[in-house]
Amino acid sequence: MSIKNRLVLMSFFQFFIWGAWLITVSNYWFGTKHWSGSEFGAIFSTLGFSSLFMPALTGIIADRWVSAEKVYGFLHILGGICLAFIPQVNDPTAFFWVIFAAMICYMPTISLSNSIAYNILKNNNFDVVKVFPPIRVWGTIGFIAAMWLTNLTGNKATEVQFYIAAVAAILLGVYSFTLPNCPPQKLISKDASFMETLGLNAFKLFANYKMALFFIFSMFLGGALQLTNMYGDVFLSDFAKIPIYQDSFVVKYSTIIMSISQISETLFILAIPFFLKRFGIKQVMLISMFAWVLRFGLFAYGNPADSLWMIIVSCIVYGMAFDFFNISGSLFVETTTDSKIRSSAQGLFMMMTNGFGAIMGSSISGYIIQKYFTVGEAKDWHNIWLTFAIYALVIAVAFAIFFKHKHNPKDMKVSH
């Protein structure tokens, strides 16, 4: 099997694991376990809390002491064991801690998978900016495949979704040990500072005005990333409470409708090299931010009948919103940081988006929805999505004003 195909397989299962349960856990929580909504936000905060320290920590380990693919494999095997244990849990508090353990293992593997792919591609003389997006698109295909498998087998509200994810995680963990070696740099001089010795010098990136702003806006936009993962499927399922919509295709196959978002991702990932080289990081990230405004705004006015097109278009727009931010941001970090700290820098990017950003997004959104937009068990989805749209718009305008970056196509060439 060629190097690129081996990385395709890694990318596919990396996100298959997530897709098996991430979008449908709300159906398991509310529909099967009948646990309260006030505790549900805490489940998605585990993604954020684990991203605060684990991606940066594992990035440091991969940069300094242990080959990245071995760290990656160990985490997936351990995470798979945690996922397999989830169906045994019958208490929401215990559920939180088990899913937290699983996320401690899973979240750092996202940035590690990027570092591994970049390392292997560069060692084989590939142009990372051109070659990586078509490989990464298979991650999205894996996510879609898992969503469809969970929905079409009738398991979007059952414990089987966690077993599917667990098996995939363990298999990927074993497979990762067969990947080409990605050894740590170990470039530490005898005069190295304490920060350099521990591999913490990536945090010095915050001293750079442009990088600091990039990370700050990554955090604020990261707050929007998980909102549709948290509430999208249950929002569509809630149309069942309205008699004229209760037997609609959208209600019965809400997860498949949501998967249009991931199908859209596959197309926009392939467009990233063109947009990055033509417009640059600032414009691409601005496009992403305004796409988030559309994503939320269209959901606010959509329904399963005459406004079904709004829900469909919202899902299509999601591909641009998610990819143009996540993938281009990762490539920006890769092309603007020193090779010695790239794994650590990718971990920092992950920490700001899926760490601080996700915690902020899940906790604040949960509070706002419960306090201002919930009456009994009914949620005012129209105003919930409008509030999210306004939030994304404020971020976009602020980013356009404060983030100064002159585009140079040569900046998009990765150095060794």
Which residue type sits at 67? S
Say if residues 113 and 69 touch (Cβ distance below 8 Å).
no
Contacts of 44 (CB under 8 A, 6+ apart): 226, 229, 230, 358, 362
The pLDDT, as a whole number, for residue 414 is: 45
Cα distances from 174 to residues 73, 122, 404, in angstroms, run 6, 24, 44
pLDDT averaged per 10 residues, the chain (length 416):
93 96 86 78 83 78 84 96 95 94 93 89 86 88 92 88 96 95 67 55 78 89 81 86 89 87 84 83 88 96 93 94 84 76 75 84 82 83 94 94 70 47
The pLDDT, as a whole number, for residue 196 is: 57
The pLDDT, as a whole number, for residue 103 is: 94
Q: How far apart are CA 211 and CA 150, in angstroms?
A: 40
The pLDDT, as a whole number, for residue 224 is: 84
The pLDDT, as a whole number, for residue 326 is: 83
Q: How far apart are CA 202 and CA 56, in angstroms?
A: 9
The pLDDT, as a whole number, for residue 415 is: 42
Look-up: residue for tokens 């591994």?
Answer: 116
- Counting every residue written for the chain, the total comes to 416
The pLDDT, as a whole number, for residue 338 is: 75
The pLDDT, as a whole number, for residue 57 is: 80
Contacts of 73 (CB under 8 A, 6+ apart): 172, 173, 174, 175, 176, 177
Domains observed in the chain: 3-184+201-408 (1.20.1250.20)
The pLDDT, as a whole number, for residue 416 is: 41
> Would you give the DSSP letter of residue 353?
I
Instruction: Give the pair of three-digit tokens for residue 52.
Output: 């605060």
Q: How far apart are CA 65 and CA 217, in angstroms?
A: 31
Checking 121-124 for CB contacts under 8 A at 24+ apart, the result is 121/3, 121/7, 122/414, 122/416, 123/180, 124/3
Is the backbone of residue 126 left (phi > 0), alpha (psi -120 to 50) or beta?
beta
